[in-house]
Structure 1
Amino acid sequence: MTIAWIYPGQGSQVVGMGRDLQDWPGAAQKLALAREVLGWDPLALSEEQIHQTRYTQPALFTVSALLSDYLYAQGQTPGCTAGHSLGEYSALYAAGVFDFEAGLRLVSLRGQLMERAGDPPGSMAAVIGFDRTKLEHLCQMTPNVTIANDNSPEQVVISGSVEGVQAVCEQLQAKRTVPLKVSGAFHSPFMQAAAEKFAHRLREVEFQTPRVPVYSNCTATASRDPQTLKQALLAQMTAPVRWRETVLQMAADGVQEVWEIGPGNVLTGLVKRTAPSLRRRNISSLSDYPAGS
């Protein structure tokens, strides 16, 4: 059976996540490294830190990476990996493209840049239950608005200027629109300045050939070519997250089951709505896959 390991991004439930990892001896060295690199404990976010991108992104990466290490230690191996937005870094780590410290430093910088990306100010909104053709037309006709996250047939996130996002939501007549509390218009051209700053650091990181194929957000296809994966990651901050297409491509490529590795169950829910034939499992703590299973 071909199993894909998939990784959630920002927006996942982060309260109390990963606490049991402190009890696993295999996590001790990397947790110590994370505290040294970050200057704070990724498994002990305060109430204030929980709502700040520069803290939640490294914390999510740390938890997902350590859960991946744990599964490997139990003899599990994925057939491929994929991640939603920030989760793509965890997917690349799990496939052996870069080591834990390199990934953590990249994610830490990414979080800092994204948190400061509010100039010019931008906006995002989740759209649920909509006419896709009409939405695409409105985004084409409205300046400074794009589909940022194509999550499932029934749910997308649009991103862009405050006025543009509001105008699309008002004209679309969706079942529901939800403004998101974000510091900028993520996965849109509004992130170009942050993306250029991030690219300088990313180009310095050497990508290794992954042990399994990795699906990229901006292509919705899998690759084992390090340079292809790096170019896709360079484009990720300003490009849409094509998650719906990624899930459909996984099914077409022969994936039969997905394991969501990290806090929450957002991605398995999206998989269920997009490709219900795929089996689903959530690994958000060590107890979800007891040692010796």
Structure 2
Amino acid sequence: MTKTAWVFPGQGSQTQGMLNDLLDQPLAKEKFAQAEEILGWSVIDICQNDPDKLSQTLYTQPCLYVVETILADLLKDKQKPNLVAGHSLGEYIALYVADVFEWSPGLRLVKRRAELMDSAAGGMMAALINFDREQLETAIANNSEVVLANDNSPTQVVISGTPTAVKAVISQVKTKRALPLKVSGAFHSHLMKPAANEFQELLTPIEFHRANVPVLSNIAPTPAVEADVLKQRLIEQMTGGVRWREIALALPENGIERVVEIGPGNVLTGLIKRTCSGLTLKNIRSMADFDG
């Protein structure tokens, strides 16, 4: 039996119309209705008719949670994963799929997370592509106002911090491209601490269950199933870095042979392909991808 990991993308993977072929699915209809009650707005309307709102953190994160969990639930009727992981927001979908929390509490968490992150200000994030890692590590070590927010692959990272600090680090590192990201704040950095503290007050009383499949977390890419461990890792996620490169390396170390990315786009399978070889990669972006 081929050991399979399911991985779930986060913000940046959203696409207009990403739910179109789910509209006739009874499960999806039920979830879209529940989501509108919880959110106070229509995921269908945003995804189909409002690309500007879809690109805003406030709406992006709940939309992705709803679409990816529906796809995962439909896929669970056909197969089951041996391991799950998600990139930033995607970790919430991974925890839901592992039965760590129920769907509605999960969406409420994502809603509040999106609100807090959308209201963050005063920070900057930038992606570095084909960079000198040694130079980057030195520059970050010498600047307390910038951190490695997303270690995505050997050739792509995201740094986060104050605008002055991020620009200073970029000037000190040899890189093919440095791209400022269109986000409201310095996500996955110490600058998110006030938002993280407020979010923790909401997260702490939420009931977490022991996972029915091991989860690789963003801040600790080692398999875990214990409810208290997974909750603590999620608490630390908003200010901690996303260690996706290490998650990718951990997949074959844990016997994984096949990786299925569930959600729009193919960002995570692309990052995994650039990080480790020998894995079979598949994308489930819509109902059309379920065969094969």
TM-score by length of 1: 0.96
Alignment match, 2:281: 280
Q: 2:172, 2:198 → 1: CA distance?
A: 35
- 1:48-84: CA deviations, max 9, x gaps? 31121010000000001000110012x2100110000
Per-residue deviation, 1:47: 2.5
For 1:66, the equivalent position in structure 2 comes to 70
1:232 corresponds to 2:233: yes
Partner of 1:76: 79
Question: Quick one: distance in 2 between partners of 1:151 and 1:131?
Answer: 14
What is residue 160 of structure 1 aligned with on the other side? 161
8 Å Cα contact 2:14/2:64 also seen in 1: no
Aligned residue type for 1:259: V
Residue of structure 2 in register with 1:53 after alignment: 57
Residues 88-113 of structure 1 show CA distances to partners (whole Å, capped at 9, x for unaligned) of 00000011111110110000000000
Shift of 1:278: 1.1
**C-alpha distance in 1 between matches for 2:276 and 2:51:** 36
1:115 aligns with 2:118: yes
Distance 2:273 2:251 in 1: 13
Instruction: Please name the residue that 1:96 is paired with.
Output: 99
- Counterpart CA distance in 1 for 2:52 and 2:253 is 42
Contact 2:82–2:214 (8 Å) recurs in 1: yes
Aligned residue identity for 1:128: I
SS at match of 2:23: helix
Q: What code does the residue aligned with 1:207 have?
A: F
Q: Which 4+ residue blocks in structure 1 deviate beyond 4 angstroms?
A: none
Q: Distance in 2 between matches of 1:137 and 1:18?
A: 43
- Inter-partner Cα distance in structure 2 for 1:149 and 1:25: 36
Secondary structure of 1:129's partner? strand
Find the aligned partners of 2:276 and 2:65 in 1 and give their Cα distance.
Answer: 26
Distance 2:83 2:254 in 1: 10
Amino acid corresponding to residue 78 of structure 1 in structure 2: P
**Contact 2:135–2:172 (Cα < 8 Å) also in 1:** no
Tell me the distance in 1 between the aligned counterparts of 2:214 and 2:108.
23
Q: Is the 8 A contact 1:213 1:222 kept in 2?
A: yes
Alignment-derived partner of residue 21 in structure 2? 20
Q: Report the RMSD for the aligned CA atoms in angstroms.
A: 0.9
Q: Secondary structure at the match of 1:48?
A: helix
Deviation at 1:134, TM superposition (A): 1.2
* 1:14–1:56 CA contact under 8 A, matched in 2: no
Partner secondary structure for residue 44 of structure 2? coil
Query: Which stretch of the first structure deviates more once superposed, 46-55 or 266-275?
Result: 46-55
2:126, 2:240 → 1: CA distance? 16
Tell me which amino acid in the other structure corresponds to 2:238: M
Tell me the distance in 1 between the aligned counterparts of 2:281 and 2:238: 28
SS in 2 for 1:44: helix
The CA deviation string for residues 159-199 of structure 1, in whole angstroms up to 9 with x for no partner, is 00000000111110211110111100000000000000000
Which runs of 5 or more residues in structure 2 are unaligned? none
User: Which segment drifts farther, 244-253 or 23-32?
Assistant: 23-32
Note the 1:211-250 alignment, pairs <5 A: 211-250=212-251
Q: Is the 8 A contact 2:135 2:174 kept in 1?
A: no
Structure-to-structure mapping, 1:184-223, within 5 angstroms: 184-223=185-224
Aligned residues: 288
CA distance in 1 between partners of 2:76 and 2:268 (Å): 21
Paired AA for residue 57 in structure 1: Q
Gaps of 5+ in 1: none
